[in-house]
Chain A
């Protein structure tokens, strides 16, 4: 069964700092990869996704992620964070043997200080 590992549970950084959140999944084969974000008091929203093609994907709000198949990784990056990026970030994967089931990582709580 697929599992997803997020490397950091809690990240605190200052505005304008760069952010990188790690995500690794366990099983190979054809996968779809997602990063979702949950802002305080709001519901899960899609940041970006990878289905196929260019492994460097760009999402909303200046976020990007790189799919590295050989490392089973899909790390999220943002060069310069803002206070409004304070949120919880979830990596998620579904795969060809169970497209309907999104497997989520445990989430990373990101706090950006002014």
Chain B
């Protein structure tokens, strides 16, 4: 079946611009996660959504970062006023339940000039 998909695959933006990254989880998966993979920082948890519960935002690095999940499916990660240190690969994952194996998408490579 289809895996986790993310768009765009690459995004180049100028410092100070806002960007939106999209994640389509595996159909039927109730939990959705965002991570960031950057040189020197490795893989960092950002946020996760579980069903209709309030999201766990504890990994968001600043208030410039936000995410929403509409209809319990698609999620959008928004970064406002991007900075060069936001350059990274943003990964999305989903699971049938929050204790299950996380299946990762291909990521969005964000470059902030």
* Chains A and B are bound partners: yes
Task: Give me the interface of A with B, judged by CB distance under 8 Å.
Answer: 32, 34, 36, 42-46, 49, 90, 92, 94, 98-107
Asked if B62 is at the interface of the complex by the 8 Å CB criterion, the answer is no
The 10 closest A-B pairs by CB, nearest first: A104-B43, A44-B104, A100-B48, A43-B106, A101-B45, A106-B42, A99-B99, A100-B98, A99-B98, A43-B104
Question: Quick check: B59 and A101 within 8 Å, CB to CB?
Answer: yes
Instruction: Kindly state the separation between the CA atoms of A32 and B104 in the bound complex, as whole angstroms.
Output: 17
Asked if B33 is at the interface of the complex by the 8 Å CB criterion, the answer is yes
- The residue that B101 contacts in the complex, of A42, A46, A100, A101, with Cβ under 8 A, is A46
Q: Which residue of A lies closest to B58 (CB)?
A: A101
Chain A residues with Cβ below 8 Å from B101 are 34, 46, 49
Q: Which residue of B lies closest to A43 (CB)?
A: B106
Extra contacts besides A49-B101, A100-B50 (20): CB < 8 Å: A34-B101, A36-B104, A42-B106, A43-B91, A43-B105, A43-B107, A46-B101, A46-B103, A90-B43, A101-B45, A101-B58, A102-B43, A102-B93, A102-B102, A103-B45, A104-B35, A104-B44, A105-B42, A106-B42, A107-B42
Chain A residues with Cβ below 8 Å from B44 are 104
Instruction: Kindly state the separation between the CA atoms of A80 and B71 in the bound complex, as whole angstroms.
Output: 47
- The residue that A104 contacts in the complex, of B31, B42, B58, B99, with Cβ under 8 A, is B42
Chain A residues with Cβ below 8 Å from B14 are none
Question: Quick check: A100 and B42 within 8 Å, CB to CB?
Answer: no
12 residue pairs bridging A and B, Cβ less than 8 Å apart? A42-B106, A43-B91, A90-B43, A98-B56, A100-B48, A101-B48, A102-B43, A102-B93, A102-B102, A104-B43, A104-B44, A107-B42
Q: Whole-angstrom distance from the CB of B65 to the nearest CB of chain A?
A: 16
Instruction: Kindly state the separation between the CA atoms of A42 and B98 in the bound complex, as whole angstroms.
Output: 24
